[in-house]
Structure 1
Amino acid sequence: MSAVTAVIITHNEARNIQQCLASLKTVADEIIVVDSFSTDDTVAICEREGAIVKQQAWLGFGPQKNVGIQLAKHEYILSLDADEALDEVLQASILAAKQQGLQGMYDFTRLNFYYGKFLRHGVEYPDYKIRLFPKSIVRWNDELVHETLQISQNIQQNRLKGHLLHYTYFAIREHVAKANKYTDLGAELNFKKGKRASWFKILFSPLFTFIQAYIVKRGFLDGRHGFIVAVFHAYGAFMKYTKLWMLNNEKKK
């Protein structure tokens, strides 16, 4: 039977971390939390639940997760965010894979929660994420936002049944604040890569994004929630390109 180390990064996640840790108890042989000096009860909750807590000043999403991987005792890493939790079906799937002996890497479907409802349509479903992998050949990259896994060689990819429950936003105001933060990071990342924001992208990217989220990906089947989230996706596209446009203009001065 394979052993697994769960790695979580946190900063002021007292609202979410309890259910995340609870969902890991049956599947993780070790839990490591890399905390960037939370000022709420995050660390106390983690220690009470038996997690190993490492304090680390913020390095960025990927590097922060890699700190936890380096501390892991076991070869296989189960990487979760603090606002995520395994449902019972996914817990059972991971346990079965461990008993058979883990091979390759594993992805599963993330189910996103918006304002009191899990959404099963739109651009974010099915939201497949690779989160169970061997640390010897897989690492997170150093991107400012939307970090991805770097895989050093060909490796078998498997899919497990169940859902990774992602408690994305509980209120509209949280979504607004996070969208502003992530579009800042997205614009900065694109600027560093030398990209430019054309007026075509500023005008039409939001429209195409909304059509994709609400119509093509059937976000309308999630009712009012689906409409609001599709509008937010369009808003995010608009903000990302207008912020990039501002950065391009500032460079000219």
Structure 2
Amino acid sequence: MQPLTGIVITLNEQANIADCVRSLSRVCDEVIVVDSLSGDDTVAIAEAEGARVIAQAYLGDGPQKAHGVPFAKNDWILALDADERLDDDAVALIESLALDDPQTAYSFRRKNYVARHWIRAAGFYPDSVVRLYNRTTAGYLPKKAHSSVEAPKVEATAAHLRHFTYEDMSHWIRRIDALSSRDAWAMKERGVRPSRLQPTLHAINAMLRKLLFKGGLFQGMDGMTVALTTAFHAYMKYAKLNELYELEQLPQR
């Protein structure tokens, strides 16, 4: 196996960062944390776990995840979110890879959890994401919301990441609030215009996609929960986009 650099971006992740750094350290010989000026103990905890911390005000999802790459001493990058962990099968797979083709990136299947409950409904599993790539040929797209790795080739693996997405249902709602605000800002940055129809249309589309095309209608409470929360997220990010434009028009006090 080639040497790896683990990279994770953080903002107030003191509850997650220690376990994330430890997980990366199972296969990486260095870990870099790009911190968005956290106000909690994220930085101190990361450094105590042996990570190198780089402070950087938030640039948007893709640019922030790309920011730490030039600081890495290795070309092979393993990127995790702070709430993701390598499952044992992912560790075994990575250790078995020769990593002799820089053109190939590797995707993993995420197990998404709410507390201890693994949600498999309505597209929440296998939820494949590219996390291992060579920086000479691949990297995160410069999208400010929901970026992903672009690579010449992607090998889909059956290995898993555990994604501790939400602490509980209340945390799920709080995350939708935070992420929809970030998404609205990113859309405005790239020139998406306001519309009174967009919030409703996107919410209906999200609901139908999850209930019908992803099978949530037949997957019990989990399917309905995923459909409703996805629709709510879609509605709120477009409603907040409208709000951002409205606030620009208000006279200064």
TM-score, structure 2 length as denominator? 0.85
> Matches of residues 80-99 of structure 1 in structure 2 within 5 Å?
80-97=80-97, 99=98
**What's the CA shift for 1:92?**
0.7
Structure 2 counterpart of 1:185: 182
- Over 3 Å counting, the alpha-carbon distance change for 1:6 and 1:244 in structure 2 is same
**What's the CA shift for 1:244?**
3.3
Gaps of 5+ in 1: none
Query: Of 151, 159, 164, which residue of structure 2 is paired with 1:162?
Result: 159
> For the Cα contact (< 8 Å) 1:37–1:56, is it kept in 2?
yes
The answer to whether 1:135 aligns with 2:135 is yes
**What's the CA shift for 1:113?**
1.3
**What's the CA shift for 1:88?**
0.5
**What's the CA shift for 1:251?**
7.1
**What's the CA shift for 1:134?**
1.0
CA distance in 2, matches of 1:126, 1:229: 14
- Over 3 Å counting, the alpha-carbon distance change for 1:102 and 1:160 in structure 2 is farther
Structure 2 counterpart of 1:202: 199
Structure 2 counterpart of 1:65: 65
Percentage of matched positions with identical amino acids = 35
Structure 2 counterpart of 1:101: 100
1:197-231 Cα deviation digits (max 9, x unpaired): 55554334323322321343123565433322221
Secondary structure in structure 1 of the residue aligned to 2:112: strand
Moved more, 240-249 or 108-117: 240-249
Structure 1 counterpart of 2:168: 171
> For the Cα contact (< 8 Å) 1:77–1:134, is it kept in 2?
yes
> For the Cα contact (< 8 Å) 2:61–2:147, is it kept in 1?
yes
CA distance in 1, matches of 2:247, 2:58: 27
The answer to whether 1:233 aligns with 2:230 is yes
1:106-145 Cα deviation digits (max 9, x unpaired): 1111221124311112133221111111112223233322
Structure 2 counterpart of 1:113: 113
CA distance in 1, matches of 2:218, 2:22: 31
Q: Please tell me the root mean square deviation across aligned C-alpha atoms, in Å.
A: 2.6
Gaps of 5+ in 2: none
Query: How many pairs were matched up?
Result: 249
**What's the CA shift for 1:100?**
5.9
